[in-house]
């Protein structure tokens, strides 16, 4: 009785622990605070001590309710409601613990687990799913087991083995369940990162320090050790802030297709759904964009792409070529020469100090790299624009400052220039054959309009981007993550159809006579093989007394006796009236249950 | 042969438990939410919930498949009282778990049933005296997750002898109470009553009761009275009513319980000489049941 109870206990305990884990992975450490009492109450219950009285419990419940009221007005109302319920349940566990509470813990644990799917997309979810699913099944099973039955180690193995098989089948079903290309009712997605409406000087590095993977870029052929991913283009600058062009919408088309380009290469992008961009990241310049779920707005003049309706999930293919000839004239781009007046005079002084060579833009870059250092820049002076502060006083800055300085200096010299924000990554995963773009890879550079196309100039000192020497294991882990995202998390109606269309030809081939016959032969051969294996197993691994029993049955059958259903061996032997048979059964029981050596049994068998 | 059995088996009957109902409805709503949101992680849970339902159906079907039940005997079953009938049950190669074997009046629980024979005692309440037929027995189980109660009736055609009632308030107070209070005396000699006197020892008698102090010249033996009572023989008329039989059975039960030897005589049918003990009682009751 005690043992079964302890198992029940551990189920709930484990569920609580897993809920904590899921919460920790998903929403941060603050959730632990809600589950800590749950933990403690279990520990106290295990030691058999009552922690709170009913009255004290009620008082604390009141306090919790008051504390939770402002929290209810936060973004995730349902999540907060769940935590509130969990908090109250925790209190109940403190005060008194009944068997019904296990049901509550399980149910709430399951709800928390389901909720965690909203924000927990990492591969850890899989582990959590396997453990949680097994525990739920075990809990449901324990509900029908009477308390007085002890569950021993061996039967536990069988139980968990069965549950493991159930889990495997559920994973198989996961791929078969029909996906829906449409949505019945939508949700507004409020979360959006990587959305730079404006960019302050010194602002890029401030926000982008984590090593969270944002996207993976899989180029058809790896040409360089690095890859630039464009995200957002800025044109006008007021001395401290960059902002995009106001008349952005001009020349917007829903879809642009330039076909028959011989130098076409495909860039395939994969997104982490946890992070959503307003602007589609691109490598170099897109020619054709294919995406099924939403629409892209494509500004051909600026070579910029923007999503019109922000989707929940993005998965698109970009066909990109070396820069095409664009019918764009210099006259069309007056705003790319604008320099704010507050900066103008300072820049003129700087230009005077630059020793220009034939390559004007190259000499600006050389000047910047020689006289300025790479490092953290924080604007402190209010009296002058921050870019001037960088150029004249601090002389130390990051990519945004270098790029801004370059853009402004180039504009002073009459070059049509703009600032591009995106990512520069050197992290290539050879296992999966893709570049990994992390949050900390955020970068800014300049683009200059030369001979009808935009050309990239990166003034930031090179070699300062650290190359990640990732361990081989980490590469594999990332590849597993990549597979998880592409094959599981983003598995869609389209993928399902793709697989089905791949399988169909084989199916039709099988339907023809020859293939059908072949399949038949294979099945028969497999059956025969399994029978042979079973026989071999029976010959090699079955103990002697079992073999002897088979021999005994054969002998009795020869004499015309067949054992009835429900008849014990002894009854059978007595019914036959054969004394040797009785002797055999006695000896058989001795060998089977008494641990006697089977020599007596052999002797009797010989006499048959 | 087994396949034939499988195809010809009687249909199982299923009743979904509240938990099962909750689980099904929950899965349905979960499914709608999943298909709407298109979240693959929710799809994963949905697949698991569906497989759990599916596994529940398959496992519970297999659980009560190929059951073989045979009635082998019974314990004493009195009228309007619950006694046990003994069933011999076995199953094919696939074991069964948490099986309940039920008659109309009670159930027996068997945690695990393998191909080995198991004997179980199923409670049965006899309504009428005499030979009763239990045509079928219900086997049910909540295995594996308690979502549904699946049951099946198995034909056993067991014949059970129901003894007459023994809980009658028999008007035997005078004799009975006197006996219990020890007021009755006996002239018989024995070794378990009061001391009565001495007599000479005869060869072959036990040495235990020799009075050694008074055995100087010759061996003397202590003599006692006996507790043993005169035996009773109940006589039934040729055509006894149901009430009479119940009364007699109740009296026999009470007297035998008090340690008296009791016999039974039914006119023109049988005579059972007086004796004691539970086997004797069983025999007498059986005779009365079959009258």
Question: What does the mean pLDDT of chain B come to?
Answer: 84
What was the pLDDT predicted at B188? 57
Strand partners, B200: B220
CA–CA distance, A338 with A193 (Å, rounded to integer): 29
Query: B interface toward A at CB cutoff 8 Å?
Result: 19, 30, 35-48, 50-52, 55, 68, 70, 88-90, 98, 109, 111, 117, 142-147
Which residue among A167, A174, A568 places its CB closest to the CB of B43? A174
Q: Say if residues A117 and B41 touch (Cβ distance below 8 Å).
A: yes
Is it true that the peptide bond before B176 is cis, omega within 30 degrees of 0? no
Q: How far apart are CA A218 and CA A269, in angstroms?
A: 6
Q: How many helices (H) and strands (E) does chain B have?
A: 6, 13
What gap in Å lies between CA A303 and CA A289, rounded to an integer? 12
The ranges assigned to domains in chain A are 2-176, 208-484, 494-540, 542-607
pLDDT in tens, A447-476: 888 776 678 888 888 654 454 555 677 788
Among chain B residues, CA nearest to A120: B41
Total residues found in chain A within this entry: 608
Which of A78-87, A233-242, A548-557, B171-180 holds the top average pLDDT? A548-557
Residue of chain A whose alpha carbon sits nearest to that of B54: A166
Which residue reads 């536990």 in tokens? A156
Asked if residue A173 has pLDDT above 70, the reply is: yes
In whole angstroms, what is the distance from residue A335 CA to residue A418 CA? 10
C-alpha B76 chain-centroid distance: 6
The predicted model gives A310-328 an average pLDDT of 45
- Cα angle, residue B175 at apex, residues B171 and B179 outer, rounded to 5°: 130
CB neighbour class for B139 (10 Å; exposed up to 12, middle 13-18, buried from 19): buried
Find all residues with CB under 8 Å of B258, minimum gap 6, and list them. B176, B179, B180
d(CA A214, CA A440): 10
Closest A-chain CA to B41: A117
Show the beta-strand stretches assigned E in A255-359.
Answer: 265-271, 282-283, 286-290, 296-299, 304-307, 317-320
Query: How far is A155 from A141, CA to CA, in rounded Å?
Result: 13
A171–B contact, CB cutoff 8 A: yes
State the nearest Cα–Cα gap between B247 and chain A, in angstroms.
40
Cα B111 to Cα A152, B26, B84: the distances in Å are 13, 30, 18
Q: What's the pLDDT tens digit per position in A395-414?
A: 888 888 899 999 999 998 88
Put simply, the answer to whether B90 touches A117 (Cβ < 8 Å) is no
Contacts of B109 in chain A (CB under 8 A): 146
pLDDT for B35:
84
Q: Taking 50 as the threshold, does the pLDDT of residue A238 lie above it?
A: yes
Report pLDDT for A464: 47
Whole-number pLDDT of residue B84: 92
Q: Is A107 on the interface with B (CB under 8 A)?
A: no
pLDDT tens digits for A59-101?
A: 777 777 777 666 666 555 566 666 667 677 666 666 665 666 6
**Which candidate in B23, B24, B47, B71 is best for mutational testing of the A interface (most A CBs within 10 A)?**
B47
> What does DSSP assign to residue A247?
T
Count the Cβ atoms, other than its own, within 10 Å of residue A602.
13
CA atoms within 13 A on the CB side of A495: 15
Position A507 scores a pLDDT of 75
Which residue among B40, B52, B88 sits closest to A166, beta carbon to beta carbon?
B52
> Token pair 């982490």 is at which residue?
A272
Residue A159 has pLDDT above 70, yes or no: yes
Q: Answer whether B144 sits within 8 Å of A141, measured CB to CB.
A: yes
* Distance (Å, whole) CA B23 – CA B21: 5
- Which tokens belong to A465? 């981007």
Question: Tens digits of per-residue pLDDT, B104-162?
Answer: 888 999 988 887 888 999 999 988 888 989 988 999 999 889 999 999 888 888 899 99
What residue in B sits closest to A180 (Cα-Cα)?
A: B35
Q: What percent of chain A has pLDDT over 70?
A: 58
- A3 versus A360: the higher-pLDDT residue is A360
User: Looking at the partner chain, which of A125, A146, A171 has a beta carbon nearest the beta carbon of B41?
Assistant: A125
Q: How far is CA B253 from the centre of its chain?
A: 17
- Contact by Cβ (8 Å): A486, A432: no
- Report yes or no: A400 and A199 within 8 Å, Cβ to Cβ: yes
Q: Are the Cβ atoms of A140 and B146 closer than 8 angstroms? A: yes
Q: What is the pLDDT of residues B41-61, one digit of tens each?
A: 889 999 999 999 999 999 999
Q: Nearest CA to CA, how far is B7 from chain A (Å)?
A: 19
Strands (E), B75-147: 82-91, 96-102, 107-113, 118-125, 130-141
φ and ψ at residue A264, rounded to 5 degrees: -75, 135
Contact A258, A287 (CB under 8 A): yes
Q: What is the pLDDT of residues B234-266, one digit of tens each?
A: 888 888 888 888 888 888 888 888 778 889 888
The DSSP annotation for A484-543 comes to IIIIIIT--HHHHHHHHHHHHHHHHHHHSHHHHHHHHHHHHHHHHHHHHHHHHHHHHHS-
Q: How far is the C-alpha of A15 from the C-alpha of A9, rounded, in Å?
A: 10
Residues 6+ apart with CB under 8 A from A64: A84, A87, A88, A91
CA distance B189 to B223: 7
Q: Alpha-carbon distance A77 to A71, whole Å?
A: 8
> Which of A117, A184, A566 has its CB closest to that of B42?
A117
DSSP string computed for A86-116: HHHHHHHHHH---THHHHHHHHHHHHHHHHH
From the CA of A65, how many Å to the nearest CA of chain B? 28
């Amino acid at each position: 009785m005690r043992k079964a109870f302890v198992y029940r206990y551990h189920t709930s305990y484990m569920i609580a622990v897993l809920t904590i884990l899921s919460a920790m992975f998903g929403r941060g450490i603050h959730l632990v605070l809600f589950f800590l009492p749950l933990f403690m109450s279990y520990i106290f219950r295990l030691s058999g001590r009552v922690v709170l009285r009913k009255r004290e419990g009620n008082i604390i419940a009141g306090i919790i309710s008051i504390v939770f009221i402002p929290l209810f007005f936060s973004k995730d109302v349902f999540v907060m409601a769940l935590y509130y319920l969990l908090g109250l349940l925790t209190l109940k566990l403190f005060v008194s613990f009944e068997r019904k509470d296990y049901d509550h813990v399980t149910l709430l644990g399951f709800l928390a687990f389901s909720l965690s799917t909203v924000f927990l997309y990492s591969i850890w979810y899989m582990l959590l799913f396997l453990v949680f699913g097994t525990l739920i099944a075990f809990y449901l099973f324990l509900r029908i087991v009477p308390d007085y039955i002890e569950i021993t180690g061996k039967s536990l193995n069988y139980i968990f083995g069965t549950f493991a098989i159930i889990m495997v089948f559920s994973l198989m079903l996961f791929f078969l369940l029909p996906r829906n290309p449409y949505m019945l009712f939508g949700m507004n997605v409020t979360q959006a990162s990587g959305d730079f409406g404006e960019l302050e000087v010194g602002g890029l590095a401030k926000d982008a320090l984590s090593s969270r993977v944002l996207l993976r870029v899989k180029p058809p052929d790896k040409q360089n050790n690095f890859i630039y991913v464009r995200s957002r283009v800025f044109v006008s600058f007021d001395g401290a802030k960059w902002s995009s062009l106001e008349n952005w919408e001009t020349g917007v088309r829903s879809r642009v297709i330039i076909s028959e380009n011989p130098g076409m290469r495909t860039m395939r992008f994969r997104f982490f759904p946890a992070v959503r961009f307003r602007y589609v990241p691109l490598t170099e310049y897109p020619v054709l964009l294919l995406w099924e779920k939403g629409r892209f707005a494509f500004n051909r003049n600026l070579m910029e792409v923007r999503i019109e309706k922000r989707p929940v999930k993005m998965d698109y293919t970009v066909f990109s070529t070396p820069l095409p000839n664009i019918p764009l004239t210099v006259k069309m781009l007056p705003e790319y020469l604008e320099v704010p007046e507050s900066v103008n005079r300072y820049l003129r002084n700087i230009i005077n100090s630059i020793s220009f060579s034939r390559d004007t833009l190259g000499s600006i870059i050389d000047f910047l790299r020689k006289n300025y250092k790479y490092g953290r820049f924080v604007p402190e002076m209010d009296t002058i624009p921050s870019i001037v502060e960088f150029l004249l006083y601090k002389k130390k800055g990051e990519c945004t400052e270098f790029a801004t300085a370059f853009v402004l200096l180039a504009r002073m010299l009459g070059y049509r220039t703009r600032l591009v924000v995106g990512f520069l990554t050197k992290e290539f995963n050879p296992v999966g054959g893709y570049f990994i773009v992390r949050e900390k890879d955020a970068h800014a550079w300049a683009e200059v309009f030369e001979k009808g196309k935009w050309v990239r100039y990166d003034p930031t000192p090179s070699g300062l981007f650290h190359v990640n020497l990732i361990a081989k294991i980490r590469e594999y882990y990332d590849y597993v993550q990549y597979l998880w995202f592409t094959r599981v998390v983003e598995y869609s109606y389209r993928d399902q159809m793709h697989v089905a269309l791949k399988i169909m030809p084989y199916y039709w081939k099988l339907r023809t006579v020859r293939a059908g016959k072949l399949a038949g032969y294979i099945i028969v051969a497999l059956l025969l093989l399994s029978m042979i294996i079973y026989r071999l197993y029976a010959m090699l691994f079955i103990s002697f007394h079992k073999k002897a029993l088979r021999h005994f049955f054969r002998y009795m059958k020869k004499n015309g006796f067949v054992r009835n259903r429900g008849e014990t061996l002894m009854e059978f032997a007595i019914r036959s009236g054969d004394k040797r048979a009785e002797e055999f059964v006695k000896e058989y029981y001795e060998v089977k249950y008494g641990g006697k050596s089977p020599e007596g049994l052999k002797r009797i068998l010989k006499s048959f | 042969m087994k396949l034939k059995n499988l195809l010809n088996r009687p249909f199982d009957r299923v009743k979904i438990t509240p938990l099962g109902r909750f689980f099904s409805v929950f899965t349905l709503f979960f499914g709608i939410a999943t298909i709407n949101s298109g979240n693959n992680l929710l799809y994963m849970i949905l697949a698991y919930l569906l497989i759990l339902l599916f596994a529940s159906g398959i496992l519970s079907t297999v659980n009560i498949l190929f059951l073989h039940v045979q009635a082998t005997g019974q314990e004493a079953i009195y009228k309007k009282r619950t006694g046990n009938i003994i069933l011999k049950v076995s199953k094919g190669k696939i074991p069964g778990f948490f099986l309940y074997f039920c008659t109309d009046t009670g159930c027996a629980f068997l945690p695990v049933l393998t191909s080995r024979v198991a004997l179980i005692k199923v409670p049965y309440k006899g309504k009428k005296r005499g030979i009763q037929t239990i045509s079928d027995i219900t086997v049910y189980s909540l295995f594996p997750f308690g979502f549904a109660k699946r049951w099946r009736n198995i034909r056993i055609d067991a014949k059970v002898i129901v003894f007459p009632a023994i809980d009658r308030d028999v008007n035997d107070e005078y004799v009975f109470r006197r006996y219990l209070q020890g007021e009755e005396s006996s002239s018989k000699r024995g070794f378990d009553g009061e001391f009565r006197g001495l007599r000479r020892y005869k060869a072959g008698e036990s040495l235990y009761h020799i009075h050694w102090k008074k055995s100087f010249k010759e061996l003397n033996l202590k003599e006692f009275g006996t507790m043993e009572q005169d035996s009773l023989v109940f006589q039934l008329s040729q055509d006894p009513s149901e009430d009479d039989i119940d009364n007699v059975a109740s009296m026999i039960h009470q007297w035998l319980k008090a340690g008296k030897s009791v016999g039974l005589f039914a006119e023109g049918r049988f005579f059972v000489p007086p004796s004691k003990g539970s086997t004797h009682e069983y025999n007498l009751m059986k005779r009365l049941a079959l009258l």
